[in-house]
Amino acid sequence: MAKRTWIMKQEWKNVVFLHWPVKEEWLRRLVPNELEIDLYDNQAWVGVVFFQAEATRLRLLPHVPGTSSFLELNVRTYVKHGKKQGVYFFSLDADSRLAVSAASMGGFLPYRHADMSNTIKSGQCEFFSRRIEFGQYPESFKMTYKPISKLITSNRLEQWLTERYCLWTKPGEQLYRVDIAHSPWLLQYLEGEIFRNTMASYLPISLHRQLPIAHYSMGQKVRFFAPVKEA
């Protein structure tokens, strides 16, 4: 991939990873048949990840006002195709209508418009998201959090959950892979409280009452490569 030319750059800042173990059969009907649910010690996982996207731009083009900086919240699981491991997104919410329109053009990725904020109150961050896309279920999420450790040495599970360098999407009959490149994640533990979580409303409600594995990263500089058709 080093010889390929990137098509888009982006910076991810103040990244929060929340992960829950789930039953594989809960996910199977939601993921394209061509993709295998990736398991860690026979366990499937779902992640809720949110961050500030900044400095977004296409190659050889300047920043486009309204699309270069926005908040994003995505819900994902982990999949395999052949020998490659990556991510499959159930939803991606963002607070930039222009960015949502561009990323969801032709149904390529399931981006939805949301009302979002990420503010600092009383020494901790407060993140809020409420989907406002017309015709879409109004999933919402709210939590407070703050990092509580220095940088950690990630264990095998933490690496497995976060070190993912491609995603798959199937907007119609064709499966596509998008490769990405960035440095390994520098993670910290965090503490926080989830006040509302109706994301992934198609999964059992009991899941939303469980405490997740939680990590924080100050951020990454990311490059995206052109979509590739999978055979």
Q: H/E/C letters for each residue in 67-112?
A: CCCEEEEEEEEEEEECCEEEEEEEEEEECCHHHHHHHCHHHCCCEE
How far the first Cα of the chain sits from its last, in Å, is: 18
What predicted TM-score, i.e. pTM, was given to this entire model? 0.95
Number of H helices, E strands in the chain: 3, 13
The CA radius of gyration of the chain, in Å to the nearest whole number, is: 17
User: From CA 58, how far away is CA 90, in angstroms rounded?
Assistant: 24
Q: How far apart are CA 40 and CA 47, in angstroms?
A: 14
Mean pLDDT of the chain: 94
**pLDDT the model gives residue 62:** 67
User: Region 54-83: what's the mean pLDDT?
Assistant: 87
Q: Are strands 124-131 and 84-94 parallel, antiparallel or unpaired?
A: unpaired
d(CA 186, CA 172): 36
The three-class DSSP label of residue 174 is coil
Cα–Cα distance between 140 and 149 in angstroms, integer?
28
Strand partners, 130: 115, 140
Say which residue the tokens 């006002």 belong to: 65
pLDDT higher than threshold 70 for residue 17:
yes
Mean pLDDT of 146-171: 97
pLDDT at 66 > cutoff 80:
no
Between residues 63 and 101, the one the model is more confident about = 101
